[in-house]
Structure 1
Amino acid sequence: MESNTHIIERSLIGQRPEAVDYEIDLLKLWRTVWHRKWSILSLVLVVTMVTILAVFAITPIYRAAATLIIEEKTAKVLSIEQVYGAEGAGSEYLQTQFELLKSRALAERVVRQLNLTTHSEFDPRQQPEPLIDFRGVLGHLDFNKVVPVTLPGDLEAGDGPTEAQIFDSVTRAFMDRISVEPQGRSQLVRVQVDMSDPHTAALAANAMANGFIESQLEARMEMSMTAANWMNSRLGELRTKLKDAEDRLQAFREAENLVDVKGVVTISAAELSSTSDRMIDARRQRAEAESQYRQVQAMRSSGWQRLASVPAVLGHPLIQQFKAEEARARAKVEELSRRYGARHPSMEAARSELSAASASLRGQVEQVVAGIERNYQLAVANEGSLQASFNANKSQIQNISRKEFKLRELQREVDANRAVYDTFMTRLKETTATSDLESANARVVDLAAVPTAPIAPKKTQIIAVAALIALGFGVVLTLLLDKLNNTVKNTEQLESRLNIPVLGILPLLKRKQRSQLARMFAADTDKCFSEAIRTIRTGVVLSGVDNPHRVIVVTSSAPGEGKSTVSANLAFALGQMERVLLIDADLRRPSLARSFEFPVGTPGLANLIAGTATLEDCIKQVDGIDMIGAGSVPPNPLELLSSPRFAKVFEALKGKYERIIIDSPPTQAVSDTVLLATFANSVIYVVKSAATAVPLVERGVGQLLQNNVPVNGFVLNQVDIKKAKRYGYSYGGYYDYYGYSNIKQV
């Protein structure tokens, strides 16, 4: 079986002119919020008052700030500043200084200087117990960034805190109240201290600034002393090394008998150069003598005449002289030979003279050749002697050079040790002389003044924020509750969700007796209500112009929605024009007899169906209309209504009346309504405004539509008109505006 909602959706397919447009109705949201304005304002007022009490119970916090300028400065203790890391390094250096300002050592220095361990704001032994723990009430909100003092260690045994524990807790609490803020991209920094005591806050801020400068000076002094101690120890080592180097140099000089190495080297070099020049000349002379000697040796075997033709021999002056004498003697012999014979005395004398000249020439040639040989031997010997002298001088120079190199090496070692020693000695004297003149890398620009206005709590802001949060929470809660409220609040909900018209609305009336409610139209004491009933009557009549709705069943989703009141008053309205019968078919919880004060035991519908009473006995006439009450409540109402006798009785009644109105049970209570609706031409569904849930109405209507019951319209009952207008709903089209002033609020 399909669900009722699916049946309603299926029955409405093709009937809606357009799809539902899901848009946010801002005006509707505003009216919803405006309706709950007093509740929202009450919430805001309560939250604001609680916040005011909490804020004024919080101790005000004052902030004192001292301004420092931190300058980058290189260390002057040594030339190797990296040993101590004292050289500035841009942003890293400044960031390091900022962290030093927040260090625990500096905080401990200020705590000792100002004796904060006995200050009432820090000493846990002087902390009073609050009468009202507003922090706990407000969920431990951190309004002023004050951290409560806690003591380390296990104190549950009842032992009091030690001095060390108190000092540690006070130091940590004081560190939590310190903040360091760089001023833009400059070298300025603000050291801020937050305390409830403004005078102590100013003292603490100034103590932080001065303590930082003093700690820097002390650190530099300590660094200078450390460097001086290190240099003293290092100086002793350097002095020992210098002494060892000097001793080795002197020992080498004494061992090698060195006085002036440079002079000896100079003399030896001059001798070597002179010997080299002479050796070159000797080699040249030996080469010339050797050349002449080779020529002579080559011609010796050919006779002395050939020797005389050797250039070295021929060029000798004596050889040339003897050659000339021989030539004259030969010329004389040749001249005389033409005049005289071979035995002529002149010829013999001439030949003797020629022989003597040749012999002289020969002897002279042999002497010259012997001289050439002797010259060659002398040249060779001279060259050998000079070469030996050159080699001796060179060896001596090389030996001297080796000694000079060793001497220079030892001298360099002595000079290097002396230079390092002198440098350390100079630095040590400078450090010792200027160690007490070191300047800090920071100075105070502005001392902290005693603050006059607290920085926390920001009472106005906190109260304003709390009020805004309460206002937002109230608005959101109102909209959420309105969204979660799925009851029927206006006619548009019924018509748009179920596509069934609303025949009319009935205003919320002043609390009245049941008998008064049932007779409201007949008594005409409320013009607006009467006009609303006439509107419903008009809708019923006009909806059945072609096929009049002679039998009308009035029902609702649940008891208490006013279906019996609608049935009775609609019957009175129709009774002014037609013959009308009002039947109370709610055999389980009848109300017609009580509303019109029928006598106890008056027979009704149950008696008529059971046959224990006649129709005339059951019909009662009230103000011009006939009524049949429920009668005696039967044990089986559904079986009684589904019996054939009820159908016969109903057919007989339809023949006597123009309009029959049946007050049936609620649809969600029993199934009697579905059975009664089978005899009806129209069903009027009563919905109580702002009380009946929309899903409940959908299930009830779906159950009727599932059984092909003609549901012709809704009646929205007990509508608070003034409240509805505040929500933006207008119902002027359903009743006479002129009677609106007579509406009474319940």
Structure 2
Amino acid sequence: MNSPLRPEKQWYPLAPSDDDADFIDLKKKWHAIWSAKWSIFALVALVTLLAALALSQVQPVYRASTTVMIEAKGNQLVAFQQVYDSTGLLGEYMQTQLGLITSRDVAERVVEKLNLTQHPTFDPRQQPQPLINIKPLINRAKIAVFGEDPDSIEQILTEEEILDFATSRFMERTSVSVEGKSQLVRIAFDMTDRFTAALAANAIADSYIESQLEAQMDMSVKATTWMNSRLDELRGSLKEAENRLQAYREQEGLVDIDGVATISTNELGMIGDRMIDARSQRAEAESQYRQVQSMSSQGWERMASVPAVLGHPLIQQFKAEQARAQAKVDELSGRYGERFPAMQSARSDLNAATASLRSQVEQVVAGIERNYQLALANENSLRASFNQNKEQIQDISGKEFKVRELTRDVESNRALYETFMTRLQETTATQDLASTNARIVDRAIPPAEPAAPNKKLLLIIAVVLSLIAGVVIALISEVLNNTFKGTEDVEGQLNLPVLGIMPLMAKKHQKHMHHLFERNEEHQFCEAVRTIRTGVMLADMTRSQKVMVITSSVPGEGKSALASNLAFSLSQLKTVLLIDADLRRPTLARNFDFPVGTPGLANLISGTAKAQDCIQKVSENLDMMTAGAVPPNPLELLASPRFAELLEKAKEHYDHIIIDSPPTQAVSDPILTSTLATSVVYVIKSESTSIPMAQRGVGQLLQSGASIVGVVLNQVDVKKAAKKGDYSGYVDHYGYSAGKA
């Protein structure tokens, strides 16, 4: 038969929507934390107590600090520049000084100064032995294997090893820091002995300043020694450079090379100017000469027309005489003949004038040639003189360069020598006046309060961490608690209606749980049973809930108590038969104080007893059939036709038949019994029944065709659930008030 409230075999839980999966119920988380508040408080108290006990055993550590001011550059006692100069970027310089303060050299100075190798904290021979010391076992093993003497096995520490151990321990307890952006450095030392801590902090500062002074003195001495040796080398280099300069002057015979160079330069300038004039004259003479040469083949008359010849005064004079003679001849030739004496005399004068002109032209041409030759010779002579003077100047320049080179060498060696001499004098003067760049501002005093451990802070941290751990554990427990904690879990995981809840009763009521409704002692419980009765009767109005099977997932979930109290509540309205079908672990006979051996269901089905002997009268409308004698084959008895016939006959005499069936996950009896029933009520124990187990039980019943009318959530802590907001408590309070009234 199928349930009227759900489709066939749709027994699996509804999948949550995406919105539900992303939603975080903070109220639910808070209630999970609040429900575990006492466990959380217990954890906090335990952790705090353990932390307090542990801190009480911890020896306090005192921190003494000394303040030192470190300047970027040491104060100079004299005006000379110090050899040891610690200039540079302030940040890098301060980090360097911090490294020097925490150096091993300073630590060893303090250890030796305070004789800390004898102190129990720093002496390796006085260190506490471990709780489990395996060294004797190793020694005995060596003796057994190698036959060595135990005294020879024991290692004797040397002074160097003791000092190294003490220094390492000392450095671990030292810390330095710069106060803000100032030049103040705080040197701190941690120790259980506050007086030794103060002495150590002050000793660190003193040792650091002493090491700085010693370093400066050592570097000054080394610098002086090196500068003396270097000064000797520079003196020799200067002497050698001076000798080279003097030898070159003597070799070249140089006295005043600057004056010679000046005279030669002036002469070269004058010759250059003359050579320019000579070149101009030679060019002019050459031009005239070339003109004359070009006309020489055409006769003297053509040469006379050359401008250089024509412009000559004598040529002009002879040309004028020739012109007059020619004019006279021309005049007489018109009147006289050639033989006329006057004509012959005039022609004789013309020939004489022409001969004189020709002679003069030839002389002028010869003069032009001579002028050209003289100009060319003069130019060549000046050019040779210029080149000679130029070579002389170049030679002088080369010698001047060499002299200057040797002079520079001498001057550089002299300057370097004088610089080293000055620095040597400064270093020698300041060698005994070296000052440090650090000074103590505040000396350490024995601290009054320990610096560690900070017990208050550690206790607060322990409380906070334990509280956080308790909350996390509570939330994890809530997540990992895969049980039904409320009606929402039942409806969401099983998709079945909740008929009602059964409140968790006190231990004093555990022995007579089956009679609580009958006795009407707990009104909340009785009202819860009435609510379940109403839910069962209204589950399916189309048919009567004639045969009802009550089962659960595992034993101990309260199904038998629910069956008994539900039977009592239904008997107030109609006739009811309560059957104990748990033939393996029957409980009704014992809870209702029936005698041992009382016949019941097993006897009736097997035919060893009659129905009137097996049915016991409990109240006016309630009869009960116990399980009877426990049979070896319970499942075969329930599967027999006699059991089905029994139910059919019982339907004729009773309005309701309630069957107390075994758990579904223990045996398969309830699956068989549910096929003969009209409805099934599934019992789940709050915060106990596993969700997967209940899903398997419900699924098996639905797959066999059982009609599950709903679920009863049993043993619910109503007060706790009301605080969570799962139940308002209205019904319980109302029922309690009504019953009490």
Q: What TM-score comes out, normalization by structure 2 length?
A: 0.73
Q: Is the 8 A contact 1:494 1:502 kept in 2?
A: no
1: CA distance, partners of 2:737 / 2:153? 77
Indicate conservation of the 8 Å contact 2:281/2:375, yes or no.
Answer: no
Q: Secondary structure in 2 aligned to 1:420?
A: helix
The one of 545, 552, 573 equivalent to 1:577 is 573
Would you say 1:70 and 2:71 are equivalent positions?
A: yes
- Structure 1 residue 466 displacement after superposition: 0.9
Per the TM alignment, residue 273 of structure 1 is displaced from its structure 2 partner at its CA by: 9.4
Q: Does residue 1:677 correspond to 2:674, yes or no? A: yes
Which residue of structure 2 lines up, in the alignment, with residue 436 of structure 1? 431
Q: Quick one: structure 1 residues 58 and 51, their matched pair in 2 at CA, closer, same or farther if it must change by over 3 Å? A: farther
Hey, what's the Cα distance between the residues in 2 that align with 1:617 and 1:275? 169
Residue 241 of structure 2 aligns with which residue?
245
Query: Which of 646, 669, 681 in structure 1 is aligned with 2:643?
Result: 646
Who is 2:688 aligned against?
Answer: 691
Rounded Cα–Cα distance in structure 2 between residues aligned with 1:704 and 1:486: 21
Residue 470 of structure 1: how far off its partner (Å): 0.4
1:38-57 deviations in Å (ceiling 9; x for gaps) = 22112111211222222331
Q: In the alignment, what sits opposite 1:41?
A: 41
1:59 matched to which residue of 2? Answer: 60
**2-structure distance, mates of 1:278, 1:130:** 113
Deviates more, 1:400-409 or 1:648-657: 400-409
Who is 1:510 aligned against? 507
Structure 2 Cα separation of the partners of residues 29 and 279 of structure 1: 118
1-side partners of 2:488 and 2:239: how far apart? 115
CA separation of 1:654/1:408 partners in 2, compared to 1, >3 Å: closer, same or farther? closer
Gaps spanning 5+ residues in structure 2: where?
1-5, 133-150, 316-320, 322-351, 353-358
Any residues of structure 2 matched to 1:39-118 within 5 Å, and which?
Answer: 39-56=39-56, 57-71=58-72, 87-89=87-89, 91-118=91-118
Q: What amino acid maps onto 1:617 in structure 2?
A: D
Q: Which runs of 5+ in 1 are unaligned?
A: 1-5, 133-154, 316-322, 324-357, 359-365
Q: Aligned runs of 1:663-674 on 2, under 5 Å?
A: 663-674=660-671
Q: Residue by residue, what CA displacement relative to the aligned partner does 1:311-333 show, whole Å, maximum 9, x if unpaired?
A: 99979xxxxxxx9xxxxxxxxxx
Letter in 2 for 1:657: Y
* C-alpha distance in structure 1 between counterparts of 2:548 and 2:442, whole Å: 94
- Please say if residues 8 and 698 of structure 1, whose CA atoms lie closer than 8 Å, have aligned partners that are also in contact: no
The answer as to whether partners of 2:505 and 2:715 remain within 8 angstroms in 1 is yes
Q: CA RMSD in A?
A: 5.4
Which of 404-413 and 454-463 deviates more? Answer: 404-413
Contact 2:721–2:727 (8 Å) recurs in 1: yes
Change over 3 Å in CA distance of 1:410–1:574 after alignment to 2: same
Secondary structure of the equivalent of 1:543?
coil
| Corresponding residue of 1:715 | 712
How far apart in 1 are the matches of 2:514 and 2:313? 184
Partner residue in 1 for 2:329 = none
Task: Please state how far the C-alpha of 1:692 moved relative to its aligned partner.
Answer: 1.8
- Mean Cα displacement is larger for which, 569-578 or 456-465? 569-578
For the residue of structure 1 that corresponds to 2:233, the secondary structure is helix
Tell me whether 1:636 sits opposite 2:610 in the alignment: no
> In structure 1, how many angstroms separate the alpha carbons of the residues matched to 2:66 and 2:33?
48
CA change 1:262–1:581 in 2 (3 A) is closer
Distance 1:287 1:615 in 2: 171
Residue 709 of structure 1 deviates from its aligned partner by 1.2
Letter in 1 for 2:471: V
| Inter-partner Cα distance in structure 2 for 1:313 and 1:110 | 121
Q: 2:131 matched to 1:127?
A: no
Q: Distance in 1 between matches of 2:272 and 2:20?
A: 127
Q: Is the 8 A contact 1:618 1:628 kept in 2?
A: yes
Q: Against the structure 1 CA distance between its residues 179 and 119, is the aligned structure 2 distance closer, same or farther, given a 3 Å change threshold?
A: same
Q: Percent identity?
A: 44
Match of 2:25 in 1: 25
Matched, 1:702 2:699: yes
C-alpha separation in 2, matches of 1:506 and 1:540: 18
Quick one: distance in 1 between partners of 2:649 and 2:583? 20
> Within 5 Å, which residues of 2 pair with 1:167-566?
167-256=163-252, 402=395, 405-406=398-399, 409-410=402-403, 412-414=405-407, 416-434=409-427, 435-436=430-431, 442-444=437-439, 446-450=441-445, 451-498=447-494, 499-511=496-508, 516-543=512-539, 545-566=541-562
Does structure 1 conserve the Cα–Cα contact (< 8 Å) formed by 2:173 and 2:191? yes
The offset of 1:534, in angstroms, is 2.8
Residue 440 of structure 1 deviates from its aligned partner by 5.6
Q: How many residues align?
A: 669
The secondary structure found in structure 2 opposite 1:555 is: strand
Do residues 660 (structure 1) and 653 (structure 2) align?
no
Distance, in Å, in 2 between the alignment partners of 1:613 and 1:284 is 171
Q: Deviations over 1:299-344 (max 9, x none)?
A: xx99xxx9xx9999979xxxxxxx9xxxxxxxxxxxxxxxxxxxxx
The CA deviation at 1:521 is 2.5
8 Å CA contact retained: 1:579, 1:657: yes
Tell me, yes or no, if the aligned pair for 1:509 and 1:718 is still in contact at 8 Å.
Answer: no
Superposed CA deviations along residues 669-708 of structure 1, whole A, max 9, x for unmatched, are: 1121122222222222222223222222222122111122
Alpha-carbon shift at residue 183 of structure 1 (Å): 3.8
Distance 2:520 2:588 in 1: 19
One-letter amino acid matched to 1:458: N
